Chains A and B, each alone.
Chain A
Amino acid sequence: MNFRRLLVGWAALAAIAWASAATAAEPVRLSFWYPVDVGGGLAKVIDGLVADFNQAHPDIQVAPVYSGSYDVTLQKIQAAKLGGALPDIAVTEISSVPVLGALGAAQPFDDLIAGAGGKNFLEKFWPSMLLNCRYDGKVYGVPFQRSTPVMYYNKDAFAEAGLDPEKPPLTWEELANAAQKLTQREGDRVTRWGLELPLEAFNWFYYALVYANAGEVLSPDGSKVLWDQPKDIEALQFWYDLVNKYKSTPAYTPWSDGPQEFVAGKAAMIWHSTGSQAFMRQHVKFRWGLGRLPKNAQFGPPSGGGNLMLYATDPARRNAAWTFIAWLSDAPQAARWSIASGYLATNIASWDLPEMQTLVKQRPEVLVTKAQLADAKVEPASPKYAPARDILNALIKDVLANKVPLQSGTQQAVASANEAMAKQ
């Protein structure tokens, strides 16, 4: 071993690194970031879709990039905005629309829509899905992988408890009754919960309950939260009662435990994403069904999932990106994506396509999801909502666990949230 050999080794390493870096500097393409949960299947579907697009459009080559979870994708985009390496198109969670719009990372594209038929283009999508696509009066997103919460229920358990397996509860009263009947105990320990409402960072089921009660969560200008309004308080009170009065629901179920608990028979009814259907289908061994989220005043499941958003600013890339967006959200692709992923087909026409008709015949429960699509409500979003979301999450956890009284706790949370949002 002498210096010369060391230098040669160094040179070799440098050469390898340089060569790799050089091959990395490939010609300009459209980059498409997507946060789909992978685990084998779905990444391949995206790859397949993109490959088909690339083949049909030789002048535009799209490179799909898995960008992490919704949160991580948002962070990467924000960081990229600072550093300047934004993707051209990305699928981002719907509540990020105002955030990215205000930041100037995402670009509005009303002009491109006008060129594609204006209102006629927009009318291809379920109106409820378009609620989370705008910011500041402009269109920033096209619905792509959307979901609503839905109720999974154990038909066998229903039959056992003397309930009609074909008639899932449709009102809060029916829900509470069913939940109580379905809860099983062994002495003090609960062996099966009647109903589980998992809680995750987005507070989906709080919104579900408030909307079902015809309440509102966020003021129209996005600056104040409305959790202390009577209808919102009633909604949280109902959840509280399910846990502490009817004792049919645990105080806290982590989001990802939900499907597992249902499959294991530890929960007879559970609210979860339409996206979990595939999991249920694969693992459930008893008769099960899908039901709409019960109403108190109206049917109003909150919206969820991601939109296609445009980030490119260069006119040529922008037009190319738009071509991709328009293609991907078109009926055949929407149908294909929906069938593979369990996300809802946001394009109305896709439901009439033969492949979707076949799906409906094979799985009639899918019609429940279609009904929810029609009724879906907006997911609360504003550029400054993020800290309020966390405050609400803490409030729900504390109220359900009896650590904080409902009324005064909510007042305090509202005050903190409004203050936090004002600071942004």
Chain B
Amino acid sequence: MIRILGRAVIYAAVLALAALVAMPMYWLLVSAFKASDEIFTATPRWLPATLEWSNFARAWEGAAFGRYFFNSVVVALAILLLQLTTASLAAFALARRRFRGRGIILLAVIGALIIPIQVTFLANFVTLERFGWIDSYWALIAPFTASAFGTFLLRQAFLAVPEPLEDAARLDRCTGLAFLWHFLLPLSRPTVLAFTLVALVAHWNDYFWPLIVTNRDEIRTLPIGLAMFVTQEVTTDWNLLMAATLFVAAPMLIMFFFTQRYFIRSHMHAGLKR
């Protein structure tokens, strides 16, 4: 009896929290469909009077979103590919090979995890300028060639693959990089997927860095388009901003909904010690 009551209380608490978390989302969704004068009413309107689909069209036209979309995809995918490559190679060595200095290198990788962008951006800006890469795709991609987080996650995942498997593979003349490609990575698919999601989201949503290193519309990314709706001198077109936010956030949300199972599975090993 107490068990059932306890469970009901828990369920109610979860529901209440869900409502709290969902409310800003709901507000975002609903406002994207409101007409301009419905935004600032004396009492909040829970449902728009009519569905203003035109908001999305107007928001889309407000900035070069088509181009930004393309750029965001290109940049995010390029970064992902680079990071997966450098991370899997490094994680492979760190997890499956013994060599002098392994411990220090591992520490160096983990140490890089906690260096925030406020520390790195200025030097990176100057470095990019020296290479002549400002205002190009390289400026958006190069600084993110490696990922300490990804290297760490993959290392943990590779550690979980049993040694005997590698021995058996070696008998079949599948060693080294071949082993990485044919065994380690497929077995770590959940981790790869999880890291993919985290990295894609982080770089998809990055506003600050692209804003500093790009000037031309041709290579700018989505969040910059979003920021264009927040104005200074007059007042903000909230409904357009919300509509734009929706089509910026939608791809990531959809992706997560379909891959969350892998996401969960991948983090099973996150806390394992050596």
A–B: direct contact at CB < 8 Å: yes
Q: B-contacting residues of A (Cβ < 8 Å)?
A: 3, 10, 13, 16-17, 20-21, 24-25, 31, 33, 37-40, 43, 63, 65-70, 72, 75-76, 79, 82-85, 87, 147, 255-261, 263-264, 266, 273, 275-276, 278-279, 283
Number of A-B contacts (CB under 8 A): 109
Residues of B within 8 Å of A39, CB to CB, are: 62, 228-229, 231, 237, 240
Q: Which 7 A-B pairs have the closest CB atoms?
A: A83-B129, A37-B231, A260-B40, A256-B235, A275-B233, A259-B235, A276-B234
Residues of A within 8 Å of B212, CB to CB, are: 75-76, 79
The chain A residue sitting closest to B241, CB to CB, is: A39
How far apart sit A257 and B78, CA to CA, in the bound complex (Å)? 41
21 pairs from A and B in contact (CB 8 Å cutoff):
A17-B141, A21-B137, A24-B218, A24-B219, A37-B234, A39-B229, A39-B240, A43-B63, A65-B216, A68-B227, A75-B212, A76-B212, A79-B122, A82-B125, A82-B126, A87-B215, A256-B231, A257-B235, A258-B235, A259-B234, A276-B233
1/0 per residue, CB under 8 A from A, across B110-154: the answer is 000000000000100110110000111110010000000000000
Is B129 touching A260 in the complex (CB atoms < 8 A)?
Answer: no
Residues of B within 8 Å of A72, CB to CB, are: 211
Q: A24-B219, A83-B126, A283-B37 are in contact. Are A37 and B81 (CB under 8 A)?
A: no
Chain B, range 207-230, C-beta contacts under 8 Å to A: 211-212, 215-219, 227-230
How far apart sit A121 and B135, CA to CA, in the bound complex (Å)? 36
Is A275 touching B234 in the complex (CB atoms < 8 A)?
Answer: yes
1/0 per residue, CB under 8 A from A, across B232-267: the answer is 111111001000000000000000000000000000
Q: With an 8 A cutoff between CB atoms, is B4 at the interface?
A: no
Residues of B within 8 Å of A261, CB to CB, are: 40
Is B216 touching A24 in the complex (CB atoms < 8 A)?
Answer: yes
How far apart sit A255 and B236, CA to CA, in the bound complex (Å)? 10
A66 CB to closest chain B CB (Å) equals: 7
How far apart sit A263 and B232, CA to CA, in the bound complex (Å)? 18
Size class of B's contact patch?
A: 35 or more
Starting from the known contacts A24-B135, A25-B136, A261-B40, 4 additional A-B residue pairs (CB-CB under 8 Å) come to A16-B74, A69-B232, A83-B134, A259-B234
Residues of A within 8 Å of B163, CB to CB, are: none
Q: A24-B135, A24-B218, A38-B63 are in contact. Are A17 and B233 (CB under 8 A)?
A: no
Contact of A83 among B58, B125, B231 (CB under 8 A): B125
Is A85 touching B37 in the complex (CB atoms < 8 A)?
Answer: no
How far apart sit A39 and B226, CA to CA, in the bound complex (Å)? 10
How far apart sit A276 and B81, CA to CA, in the bound complex (Å)? 47
The chain B residue sitting closest to A70, CB to CB, is: B232
Is A67 touching B233 in the complex (CB atoms < 8 A)?
Answer: no
How far apart sit A147 and B232, CA to CA, in the bound complex (Å)? 13
The chain B residue sitting closest to A72, CB to CB, is: B211
How far apart sit A21 and B140, CA to CA, in the bound complex (Å)? 12
Q: With an 8 A cutoff between CB atoms, is B50 at the interface?
A: no
How far apart sit A309 and B78, CA to CA, in the bound complex (Å)? 37
A62 CB to closest chain B CB (Å) equals: 13
Is A276 touching B235 in the complex (CB atoms < 8 A)?
Answer: yes
Residues of A within 8 Å of B219, CB to CB, are: 20, 24
Residues of A within 8 Å of B78, CB to CB, are: 13, 17
Residues of B within 8 Å of A65, CB to CB, are: 215-217
Residues of A within 8 Å of B171, CB to CB, are: none
